[in-house]
Structure 1
Amino acid sequence: MTFPTFTSTQIDPRARGKELGTLRRRAILANLTGYSDLFAVAGATPAQVRAWGERALERSADWAPHLAEEIAGIAAGAGLEPWQVSVVNARTEILAAIDATGEGECSTSVVLPGSGRPPRTVQTWDWHDHLRDAPMLWELEPRPGHVVRTFTEAGALAKIGVNTAGLGVHFNILRHDSDSADIGVPVHLIARRILDDAATVEEAAGIARSATVSASTVITAVTASGAASIEISPAGVSVIPQGEDGVLQHCNHFLDPALAKGERHATDRPSTYARFQHLRAHTEALSSDDHTTRALAMLSHGPDDAPVCAHPDQTQPINQRWETVATIALDLPAARLRVHQGGPCQVTEATWQTF
């Protein structure tokens, strides 16, 4: 099993978006339907969702007009209104506005071994199981000669990815007391702009600081020479560098002491701490130069152990069902992604997709 791939041929943002929207129309419509169902179960009305989508598009246009143009192009190609594609890109912001809760989410590990050796990274990407068909792998050139490859969802501008400037990003959701319904720049657009424009961790952090947000997330930026988890919230942005041992790991709680005072996972999703401890306990295997070894080091199932590898409880409503949809490693020297469809418990040498 592999994820669908798409390679853009257009440089102009609107044209690039229209090409994607036209050729991936069915998947984008299915993703929009899946999110509409999720928002409804979580308590949002269609009128609220539209208003939030329109507001996210306005904030996006103010912050990065070319990305708003790309969203409009996707909409034109898919036969949708721009606000509908904006909803897909702003799903984190809409869920924060609803104050959605639930157990689950992603775990990320980065190890910089030093001596000129490339970073060793891996993450699980957990999401609601009814959206397991949403992901795709997308290659694009935001400008000639600069290639971005991203694991994302149909209609969303980016998520986890790499660029040919030597930078990659991992992506985990966070929740903070300052999250609000005053919709800001979607965090998925921040990830895309980092992939488009950044070659260093410092540049990535600067891009994150330039956006006014309404929801929290952590983007872990990685290069050959350094890494940092960029914790983003309406209360501020904090940069957590790798430790002296070259290790940087993150789950779904804030590591910055000041931002941690507004932490929401402490009561809503306490497994984030158990997952973080699992990563710390398996750092040696997570330091391996073999991506399969790193993925298998993430293998841990709840309830007896940390639920790093998640499987949905079908007795729960869709907003409370979580699945490890993908396991992803970054290959920075090659500017490629190694992607396995599913959780670590299904990983073998043969199940990786190189993109």
Structure 2
Amino acid sequence: MTFPCFTSSQTDPRARGKELGTHLRKRIVANLTGYGELFAVAGATPEQVRAWGERALDRSAAWAPSLADEMAGIAAGAGLDPWQVAVVNARTEILAGIDAVGHGECSTSVVLPQDGPPRTVQTWDWHDHLRDAPMLWELEPRPGHVVRTFTEAGVLAKIGVNTAGLGVHFNILRHDADTAETGVPVHLIARRILDEAATVEQAADIARSAPVSASSVITAVTADDAASIEISPAGVAVIPPDPGGVLQHCNHFLDADLAAGERHATERPGTYDRLRHLHEHVEELSDPDLNARALAMLAHAPGAAPVCAHPDLTQPLNQRWETLATIGLDLPAGRLRVHQGGPCQVTEATWQTF
């Protein structure tokens, strides 16, 4: 099983978006429908969702006009209004506005060895009714600079790499400062980092420039550097690797100041168990073989930290979580290696190189 792939031929943002929207119209519309169901179960009205989408589009246009143009192009190709494409890009912001908190989510590990390229892996957990949303997208935002991203249909980026030698992992966070006054979508921050940054410092500067309303952590990685960039309306913090070159993150703030406003872990403390599991398996997560690193993430609840998630079908859809992908960055090649599903399904043959 593999994720669908799309390679853009257009370099103009609006034309690139329209090409994507035209080719993936059904998948984008289905993703929008799935998020509509999620927002409704969480308590949002259609009028609220539209207002949040329109505000996200305005904030995006002020911060990154070319990315707003690209969303408008996707809308044109998919037969949607631009605010509807902004909704799927701002899904983190809308969930923060609804004050929706879930127990699932992602676990990321990065190890910078003394010799050889970074050794990274993450699980990407999300709602099981959205399991058909992910896709792999290759684009060229400027001549000679290629971006490859694992994302959701209609969303401008998520986890990815660029040919400047930088990659990003992505985890959601929650903070007391999160607000319904929608800001720049965090997914657009990831995309702009992939489009523009070649260093961790440049990635952090881009994150600091965005007025946000919701929290996430983008872990930026280069050949010899890494940092978890914790983003919140309360500020941006940069977490470096430990002295051994290890950097791991789940779904709670590690910066002491931002942690004072922690929301996710106060209601769902399993994130601490997942990070503890990563800490306890550093040796395996340092393995040069991605398959071995993925298997080190294999842990199911309740006997261990639920790093590999499976949905409880007795729960409403906003409380059902599944590890939909396991992903590693191949920075020397500027490629992603992606497995569809959780670590418990990984074999040498299940990796998709993109």
> How would you bin the TM-score normalised by the shorter chain?
over 0.9
CA distance in 1, matches of 2:156, 2:16: 11
1:285 paired residue number: 284
1:133 paired residue number: 132
The aligned runs of 1:126-275 (5 Å cut-off) are 126-275=125-274
- CA deviation vs aligned residue, 1:131-164 (integer Å, no higher than 9, x gap): 0000000000000100000000000000000000
The Cα shift of 1:266 comes to: 2.6
Give TM-score, length-normalised by structure 1. Answer: 0.99
- CA deviation vs aligned residue, 1:99-136 (integer Å, no higher than 9, x gap): 00111100000000023x10000000000000000000
1:93 paired residue number: 93
Unmatched segments (≥5 aa) in structure 1: none
The aligned runs of 1:34-45 (5 Å cut-off) are 34-45=34-45
2:77 paired residue number: 77
CA distance in 1, matches of 2:336, 2:269: 30
1:50 paired residue number: 50
Q: Does 1:65 align with 2:76?
A: no
The Cα shift of 1:172 comes to: 0.1
- CA deviation vs aligned residue, 1:73-119 (integer Å, no higher than 9, x gap): 0000000000000000000000000000111100000000023x100
Read off the aligned partner of 2:261 and give its amino acid letter: G
1:338 paired residue number: 337
Read off the aligned partner of 1:191 and give its amino acid letter: A
Task: Report the identity percentage.
Answer: 81
The Cα shift of 1:265 comes to: 2.1
CA distance in 2, matches of 1:153, 1:267: 28
Read off the aligned partner of 1:11 and give its amino acid letter: T
The Cα shift of 1:304 comes to: 1.4
The Cα shift of 1:269 comes to: 1.4
2:295 paired residue number: 296
CA distance in 1, matches of 2:307, 2:278: 9
Matched position secondary structure for 1:175: coil
Read off the aligned partner of 2:12 and give its amino acid letter: D
CA distance in 2, matches of 1:265, 1:210: 24
Matched position secondary structure for 1:126: strand
CA distance in 1, matches of 2:307, 2:323: 8
Contact preservation (8 Å) 2:101, 2:264: no
CA distance in 2, matches of 1:124, 1:335: 19
CA distance in 2, matches of 1:314, 1:84: 28
Matched position secondary structure for 1:124: strand
CA distance in 2, matches of 1:111, 1:264: 27
Read off the aligned partner of 1:219 and give its amino acid letter: I
1:30 paired residue number: 30
CA distance in 1, matches of 2:253, 2:143: 37
The Cα shift of 1:5 comes to: 0.2
The 4+ residue runs of structure 1 with deviation greater than 4 A are none
- CA deviation vs aligned residue, 1:276-328 (integer Å, no higher than 9, x gap): 00000000000010000000000000011100000000000000000000000
Matched position secondary structure for 2:139: strand
Read off the aligned partner of 1:329 and give its amino acid letter: G
Read off the aligned partner of 1:195 and give its amino acid letter: L
Unmatched segments (≥5 aa) in structure 2: none
Matched position secondary structure for 2:202: helix
CA distance in 1, matches of 2:91, 2:192: 17
1:307 paired residue number: 306
CA distance in 2, matches of 1:227, 1:267: 27
CA distance in 2, matches of 1:68, 1:269: 34
CA distance in 1, matches of 2:114, 2:202: 22
Give TM-score, length-normalised by structure 2. Answer: 1.00
- CA deviation vs aligned residue, 1:170-201 (integer Å, no higher than 9, x gap): 00000000000010000000000000000000
